[in-house]
A and B are shown apart, each in its own frame.
Chain A
Amino acid sequence: MNLNLTLIGQLIAFTIFVIFCMKYVWPPIAGALAERQKKIAEGLDAADKAARDLESAKSQIEEELKQARTQVTELLEQANKRSSQIVEEAQDKARAEAEKIMASAQAQIAQDAAQARESLRADVAKLAVVGAERVLGATVDQAAHKKLLAELAEEL
């Protein structure tokens, strides 16, 4: 156990290793560690923020759903009202149309009946003339008996 130059040599080696470590080893590693710490902190912050966002989005969805539900009920009510209104309107229209058609049909019927009666009457007059001719065996002078025939037709 002699103290000798090894002491100095060891001191120099020690100094060199410490300086090497201080210059080339510590700064990059400590820097990387600090940066990673920052990144992780940022990541955690982002996760927190995302969770908060999710929470607020959920409440917003809830809100919007509620709104939509009330809107739907409103719309349904409106639609119901409107549909009953439409049905009523249609009924009214249909009734009016039906009455109109009925009236026009009746008018037509009356007109047809009158026409038929008229033509019947004319036919009857003709037939009566033919019948009378047959009975009389002669021609009935239309002109002479015009007045008579007209009276007959009137009576029919």
Chain B
Amino acid sequence: MALQNPTPSEYIQHHLTNLTYGYHPENGWSFAHGAQEASEMGFMAIHVDTMAWSVGLGILFCWLFRVGAKAAHAGVPTGVLNFVELMVEFVDKSVKETFHGKSSLIAPLALTICCWIFLMNLMDLVPVDLVPYLFMAAGVEYMKIVPTTDVNATLGMSIGVFLLIIFYSIKIKGVGGFVGELTLQPFGKWMIPFNLLLEGVGLIAKPISLALRLFGNLYAGELIFILIALLPFYLQWFLSVPWAIFHILVIVLQAFIFMMLTIVYLSMAHEHH
């Protein structure tokens, strides 16, 4: 379904559809042609573009920081090492300000989150038509290059954080302590069902809010870029340039927020109430 003179709604639809590979009830294992088929595949499908871009960017992050780590020495830092150390120090400071326990996981986790999400968000600044049309010319129907505009990607990360929250809660406070925290407050043991409801919602809200905040911000940003791209070409720069400049802030901010909230949640998991 190559787009020849698409209507605006077709154009938007196209730009917001992932390249999906999965098990279709009628066609078997195949790439989905259109959003309809993709949703018919249900859970047994994978967004190839999201996975490829996010893993690629993750590898870029790992490679860059590995280069820095290999070059790390106590002398005068140069080149990549300068940048890498800047990031490490920034993350380390953020972690130390919030998290007072001792953990060899939380700082690297925060660094990975910050850099990876930043890189994925950064793809939002690539002109919206460029990569999809290049891929279309190569025969690939859909290509959504910003992994964080896919709720699967953000939810995948926030579930990782959620599992860590539960792991550390149980590790630090024990199963009893964790269950007690969920059931015995804020209203004492005579209100256990109500407490469980309140605390359960609070607990579940953490990963959901993490994922949806990032997804919502980037999805909205992407959507606006797409809408601007529908304008006549001589008007586009007038809106897309300010929006892109503003979006630089959003990109960094969302990466930072995800990182900070992860640190905060994990430090809450380490503390006794």
Contact = CB atoms under 8 A, between A and B. Distances in A.
Contacts of B18: 6
Interface in A97-139: none
Contact of A6 (B51, B69, B84, B85): B51
Interface stretch (B60-68, B133-141, B179-187, B243-251): B60-68
Interface string A24-56: 111111111101101100000000000000000
A149 to B, nearest CB: 126
Nearest to A8: B156
B22 A29 contact: no
B50 A6 contact: yes
Contact of B108 (A1, A13, A21): A21
A10 B41 contact: no
Interface string A2-23: 1111111111011111101110
Contact of B69 (A3, A11, A24): A24
Contacts of A20: 62, 66
Contacts of B92: 30, 33
A39 B76 CA distance: 11
A131 B69 CA distance: 142
Contacts of A26: 69, 88, 104, 107-108, 111
Contacts of B112: 14, 17-18, 21
B229 interface: no
A18 B107 CA distance: 10
B55 A13 contact: yes
A75 B72 CA distance: 64
B38 A25 contact: no
Contacts of A3: 43, 151-152, 155
Indicate the size class of the contact surface on chain A: 20 to 34
B160 interface: yes
Contacts of A10: 50-51, 54, 147, 152-153, 155-157
Contacts of A14: 112, 116, 156-157, 160
Contact of A29 (B47, B68, B153): B68
A35 B77 CA distance: 13
Interface in B32-59: 38-39, 41-47, 50-51, 54-55, 58
A88 to B, nearest CB: 74
A29 B104 contact: no
A131 B73 CA distance: 133
Nearest to A16: B58
Given A10-B54, A10-B152, A29-B68, A4 B85 contact: no
A87 B219 CA distance: 111
B130 interface: no
Give the 10 A-B CB pairs with smallest separation, nearest first.
A10-B156, A6-B152, A32-B72, A35-B74, A22-B108, A26-B108, A21-B108, A28-B69, A6-B47, A11-B156
Interface of A: 1-11, 13-18, 20-22, 24-33, 35-36, 38-39
Interface of B: 18, 20, 22, 38-39, 41-47, 50-51, 54-55, 58, 61-62, 65-66, 68-70, 72-75, 77, 84-85, 88-89, 92, 104-105, 107-109, 111-112, 116, 147, 150-153, 155-157, 159-160
